[in-house]
Every structure is written in structure tokens, then in C-alpha cells.
Amino acid sequence: MSAPYENFPELLAQESDSDLFENAPNGYLLCMPDGTIIRANRTLLTWTGHDAKDLIGERFQNLLATGDRIFYETHYAPLLRMQGGVREIAVELTCADGSKLPILANSIMTFDANGLPMIIRTSIFGAIHRREYERELFLAKEQAEASKEQAKALAQTLQESLMPPSAPQMGRVEVGTAFHPAGNGSEIGGDFYDFFETATGDWSVVIGDVGGKGAAAAAITALARYSIRAAAITSADPATALGLLNDSLLISPTHKLCTAIYGRLQQESDSAHFRFAVAGHPLPLLVKSTREVIAVGQPGMLLGAFDNFNAATSEVTLTPGDSLVMFTDGITEARINNDFFEEGRVRTFLSNNAHLSAIELASQLADEVLNFQGGFAKDDLAVVVFHLS
Amino acid sequence: MPITQRNNVVISGKPDGPAIVFSHGFGCDQNMWRFVAPEFEDQYKVVLFDHVGSGKSDLGSYDADKYASLSGYAADIVEILEELDLTKVIFVGHSVSSMIGVLAAQSAPERINRLVLVGPSPRYINDENYVGGFSPDDIDGLLDSLSSNFLGWSSAMAPVIIGNPDRPQLGAELTESFCRTDPAIAAQFARATFLSDNRADLIDLRQPTLILQCADDIIAPLEVGQFLHEQIPNSTLVNMKATGHCPNLSHPEETVASIKNYLQAANAV
């Protein structure tokens, strides 16, 4: 096989060191330590359009735009002096015709026998396209960061507007609520509850759980809250109102499943009646003043799934000292390893704490479930408690 | 955190000698005094430090509001002098540290009793009847320059002896980039420096002051040195042969000699 490598010595012999310098693929400058140019190669003269006589004796830094000159004095020159070299400095050279040539420069300082600066050797690389590309990237990065800030602000605003309201005063019925979003709260979840009056003293309550997290779930959560308010005006019957909510969910282009309890609270002289319907949601628990805990209502169907939705309206009466506790499955499904909190633990907790106020009962149940999970909620959890004192 | 740690204070020289404090300017850190400060160690207690945001100072102490103006930096200097319990200090300030020193000297006259200003300027942007040297566009150009350059120095580059044969170990030491700071801080320090105007602070300066004016310094041109000499009551102006803005690095012998001559003359009085 022929060996072209044998020609190496001959090829090299044809290259002269001075040609290697003059016609290098990069510009080359030799300068005094104060920046005075003492030699410039042909490549640089060609790139800048300068004559040798214009450059020799001029200072390198005087060829730079003013901002770059300040940078040279305050960074480039000190670094070169202190470390003996700089690399990849991006500046712009002024050409003979006044135009600016973006370059990258490497410089090294040579030292004499006494260790004092002797000559600066500078390689210059044209960087028009690279600098353009960098500028575009920089702009894109700035735009991306601005969009990110905007999105974050939007998400926060949305999150705040969808947070469940604080508990109102409902006559003699004390209301307590607790809410804990999943994870670190940066994503909107699907748990919700709401309180509203259809007439003075005529209170409606809804608690629900939309499947999933994020923007789609948030949209359905909002839809559910507004639809049930409208439904409550149309029909005083909770089961019918839930049927109207089901219709709204079915019409919505975003398809999500939802569970809920909706009911209306009526107060008598020394009791309170809650008429309600359940749609696939964990049943409310009545906590008697005797510490007995009873599930009330009938399970019903999931919302947002079927045309032939139906639910049953039930009624529960609270006498003084009783509490009614409603919650989302973030409570019962909470788990650590393979151990779920489950309804059993909920009942035990409520029975042991039947004497507490609504606010205390709601928040302590939520805390109990959070601690059970090691402080980190994998799913939203929500609790609503009525207590008749 | 102790002030000495916050500002990476380094003390050398004569423990019981008169104190001389060297303050670096915009761009790098106390290593700018590498060829000058050691020349004072036989006679003085030499104090070097880094401004917060530069060198090995504690970046966590950087506060954008405090350091938006030079008075934030001046307050730090007074704190350093208080922590070290120094009085009658000679303050040597390079570049923007000149004005920082002027402010510090006025707020703590018992701590600083003499100033040496190297390449000083009270205002960098031109004004009516005042030549600072720059237009606002020029300062924008500097900010562009700063944002285009990270100054990462690869430690893989062969260490080079930096011109002090008496101290060969310096080559191995210098693998960090002394002029690299957090880009956001660098931009803010640039603004605080180049948008500053301390012309009104000069007339009230009581302490005797040496102004070292470089030849051909675009950052502190001859007109500015002249202006400072006219404004500062008890000032001496020395025109150096050194060119450029950093004579402490490029012409250390002349810088050292100029300062020593001045101090000797002052003591002889």
C-alpha cells in the first residue's frame, strides 16, 4: 500500500515559519506590555483592512470600542499581567473602514530572565457568526425567563382564586375546615369545597374531588363550584342539583371524573337538619356527643361519567354536641408504605375527639393524616366539619 | 460573620507599625496590589481586603440595595477599620476605591488621616463643563462587554510565573480567575462605579491627599486629575509616566516610589 506519510518531512520543509505566522488561519499580534502593537500578521491586516503602518505603534486597546476598552483596562490587562494569559475574550475590533469586527482573543504574556513582562502574543479569531448565535441564544433565554415568570405568576393567581374559602358562620352551627394541597402546593389539585347562601340563613355546602391535578383539573374544579351554585338555585333538592352538576360536567369539553357531596343546612331552635346527596364520595360521618360514629347517606354514582346519573337525597339531624364530618379520599387513601389510613382510623380518631370544636376537629384530623404520611401529602386532603354546640 | 471574614481581610507587615490599607477598584480584587503592598511590609502594618462581591469576599453578604451606591462600600471600610481598631490609617484607593476612600475618610476622620488616590475620578460621564471621559452609551458598551465575557480560566492551562522570581510558588497558586465575579454583581458594581458622581464631596475633604495621575488613562484622563487637584484642598498631584489605568500592576516600581516619596516628605514636615 502506498504510504503518503512518507512525504511528511518534504511537506514540512516547504513550510516556512514566517509563512506560518503571516498567513495563519487566525490573526496574530505581538505587543509591548502596555499594548503597543509591534507586529501584526497578514491575516489580521486582511481581516481589518488596516495597513501595517496604521497598526504598528498603535495600542491594541485603542482599536476596541470604548466599552470594550474599559473592559480591557479593568479585566483583560490585569488578568494578563497576573496570570500570564487570558482566553476567549469577546470584544470588537475597529476596522479601517470604521466597521466593527467581533472577535475572540487569546493572549499570553512572555517574561524575560528577570521575570518581568516582555511581549504579549495575541491570537485573534473572527467571531461574527458565533457572536450572532450567542446574542440570539441570550435573547431567547431572556424571553424564556420572562415567560416563565409570567406563567408562575398566573399559576399563583389561579391557585389563590381556587383555594377553598374560609368557613362562614352558619347561625348556631360552628363550621371548621382544613385543606392541604398535594406535594408542595405548586400544582393545583382537584379537591374543593364551597359554602354559599341561596337565601339569608339558607346555607348550601359542597365538598368534592376532581380526578387529577394541574390546569385541566383546576378548570373542572371551577366549573363544579359554579355549576352547583347555579343548580342550587334551580332545585332545592340535593340529588336533583347533583344531577344538574353532572350535566354540566358531561357537556364540558374537558373530561374529568368527579365525586361530591352537596347538601343544605336548616336550623331549628335546638337542632340542625342537613339534607344532602352523595355522588361517589366518601360518606359523611355523624359524630354523636356520645362518641358514637355513624356513616350517613347513600354512596350514589360518580359525576361526569354517565348520562343516567342518579343519587338519593338523605337527611341527618344534629342535636347539641353532635358533629358532622365530611372529607375527601385524601384522608382515607393516605398511606405510608402499604398501610392506608382508612375509614377505621378516621372513626377511631373522631370518636376519641368528639368533644372538640369544629375548627379543632377539622385541623387535628388533617394533621393526624399528614403526620401519618410523614408530613408529605401525596394527594390533596380536605375536611369540613359542622358542630352544633 | 466577622467583618474580616466578610471582606477577606489579609494583614501582613509590622504588627505595631502605622497602618496602610490598600483598596482595589472595579474589575478584580486585592491581588491587584500584589507587586505594591509587599514593598510596605517592612515599615507598615499592611491591610488588604476584597470589596463584597469581589475576590474571596462573602458573596452572601452582597446586598443590591446597599451596594448600589459607593457609600455602601465606604461603610464597609469604616467597619473594617473599627473591627481592626485602626486609627490614623493611610488609605490607598485604586480607581473607584479612591472615591470610596474619600467618603470613608469623611465619615470616619479619626480612622483615616491620609489618602493616596491611584487613577481616581469623581465622575466618569461627561457633563457640562466637565470632562469625565465617557458618554452614557460607552457605559452601556461596558455592560455589554461584561455580559459577553465570563473570564473562566481553565486550570488546565500551564501555570506561568508571573514576573516575580522571588516568589516562584505564585504560579501554582494562581489557577483561579481573579477578575471573575458573579456576572450580576459585576454589572451592578459597574453601574455603581460608572454612574457615580462624587464631585460635590471633594471640597470638604480635610485629609491630605496624594493624587497619582497616569499618562494616557482613558478611565481617569488628565483633565480629571487636574480637576481633583483643584477641588481637594490639601492635595498633591503627581503625573506618572505609567500609561493605562492600573499602574499598581503595570508599573509597580514607579507606583511604590511615588507613594513612598510622598509619605517621606509628609513625615519630614
User: Would the pLDDT of B170 be above 80?
Assistant: no
Active-site residue, selected from the candidate residues B217, B235, B251, B258: B217
Q: To the nearest whole angstrom, how far is the Cα of A92 from the nearest Cα of chain B?
A: 9
Q: To the nearest whole angstrom, how far is the Cα of B245 from the nearest Cα of chain A?
A: 6
**Which residue out of A36, A73, A119, A132 would a mutagenesis test of the B interface target, given it has the greatest number of B Cβ atoms within 10 Å?**
A73
Q: How many CB atoms lie within 10 A of CB A227?
A: 22
Residues of A in contact with B142 (CB under 8 A): 66-68, 70-71
Q: Is B24 a catalytic residue?
A: no
* pLDDT tens string A164-184: 778 888 888 999 999 888 876
What's the mean pLDDT in B45-49? 98
pLDDT confidence bin for B52, thresholds 50/70/90 = very high
Alpha-carbon distances of B241 from A3, B37, B124, B214, B217, rounded to whole Å: 61, 20, 22, 7, 11
Backbone angles phi, psi at A271, to 5 degrees: -155, 170
CB–CB contact B174 A83 (8 Å): yes
Looking at residue A61, what is its pLDDT?
96
Residue among B25, B66, B75, B76 nearest B181 (CA): B25
Distance CA B215, CA B243 (A): 5
CB–CB contact A115 B164 (8 Å): yes
Looking at residue B213, what is its pLDDT?
98
CB–CB contact A81 B161 (8 Å): no
The separation between the first and the last C-alpha atoms of chain A, rounded to the nearest angstrom, is 104
Q: CA B112: distance to chain centroid?
A: 15
DSSP A125: E
Looking at residue A186, what is its pLDDT?
62
Distance CA A314, CA A311 (A): 10
Average model confidence (pLDDT) across chain B: 89
CB–CB contact B27 A35 (8 Å): no
Whole-structure pTM value: 0.69
| Alpha helical stretches, state H, A27-76 | 42-48, 52-55, 66-71
Distance CA A345, CA A379 (A): 18
What's the mean pLDDT in B14-19? 96
Distance CA B253, CA B243 (A): 13
Distance CA B240, CA B251 (A): 9
CB–CB contact A79 B179 (8 Å): yes
Q: Least CA distance to A132: which residue of chain B?
A: B148
Alpha-carbon distances of B19 from A29, A80, B38, B90, B94, rounded to whole Å: 43, 30, 13, 6, 17
Residue among A57, A88, A93 nearest A75 (CA): A88
Q: To the nearest whole angstrom, how far is the Cα of B122 from the nearest Cα of chain A?
A: 16
Q: To the nearest whole angstrom, how far is the Cα of B28 from the nearest Cα of chain A?
A: 7
Q: To the nearest whole angstrom, how far is the Cα of B101 from the nearest Cα of chain A?
A: 19
* pLDDT tens string B202-252: 999 999 999 999 999 999 999 999 999 999 999 999 999 999 999 999 999
> Cβ contacts of residue A236 below 8 Å, gap of 6+?
A198, A264
Residue of A66, A82, A111 with shortest CB distance to B141? A66
Q: To the nearest whole angstrom, how far is the Cα of A61 from the nearest Cα of chain B?
A: 10
Looking at residue A246, what is its pLDDT?
95
| Alpha helical stretches, state H, A84-179 | 128-162
Going along B119-252, which residue ranges are E strands?
A: 209-215, 235-243
Residue of A65, A68, A82 with shortest CB distance to B178? A82
CB-CB contact of A66 with B141 (8 Å): yes
Residues of B in contact with A66 (CB under 8 A): 134, 138, 141-142, 218
CB–CB contact B145 A79 (8 Å): no
Residue among B99, B223, B165, B67 nearest A111 (CA): B165
Residue of B134, B163, B179 with shortest CB distance to A75? B179
Q: Least CA distance to B145: which residue of chain A?
A: A68
CB–CB contact A91 B146 (8 Å): no
Looking at residue A110, what is its pLDDT?
94
Extract the residue ranges of chain A whose pLDDT is less than 50: none
Q: What's the grid cell of residue A267?
A: 336550623
Active-site residue, selected from the candidate residues B71, B95, B98, B196: B95
CB pairs under 8 A between A and B: 129
CB–CB contact B218 A73 (8 Å): yes
CB–CB contact A70 B218 (8 Å): yes
Vertex A292 angle, CA A286 and A297, to 5°: 30
Q: CA B210: distance to chain centroid?
A: 14
pLDDT confidence bin for B27, thresholds 50/70/90 = confident
Decide which of A370 and B159 is more confident.
A370
Collapse the DSSP code of A100 into the 3-class scheme (helix H, G, I; strand E, B; otherwise coil) and give the result: strand
CB–CB contact A78 B32 (8 Å): yes
Residue of A67, A79, A109 with shortest CB distance to B145? A67
Q: What is the ipTM of this complex?
A: 0.87
Q: To the nearest whole angstrom, how far is the Cα of A31 from the nearest Cα of chain B?
A: 14
Residues of B in contact with A79 (CB under 8 A): 28, 151, 153, 177-179
Distance CA A274, CA A315 (A): 6
Residue of B26, B149, B164 with shortest CB distance to A89? B149
Looking at residue A378, what is its pLDDT?
82
Residues of A in contact with B141 (CB under 8 A): 65-68, 70
* pLDDT tens string B83-105: 999 999 999 999 999 999 999 99
CB–CB contact B163 A90 (8 Å): no
Q: Is B245 a catalytic residue?
A: yes
Looking at residue B161, what is its pLDDT?
34
Helix (H) or strand (E) holding B265: helix B252-268
CB–CB contact A116 B178 (8 Å): no
Q: How many CB atoms lie within 10 A of CB B107?
A: 13
Residues of A in contact with B219 (CB under 8 A): 70, 73-74
Backbone angles phi, psi at A310, to 5 degrees: -145, 155
Which residues of A sit within 8 Å Cβ distance of B? 33-35, 61, 65-71, 73-75, 77-79, 81-87, 89-91, 108-109, 111, 114-117, 131, 134, 138
What's the mean pLDDT in B55-64? 90
CB–CB contact B134 A82 (8 Å): no
Residue among A226, A218, A245 nearest A380 (CA): A218
CB-CB contact of A81 with A70 (8 Å): no
Distance CA B237, CA A315 (A): 97
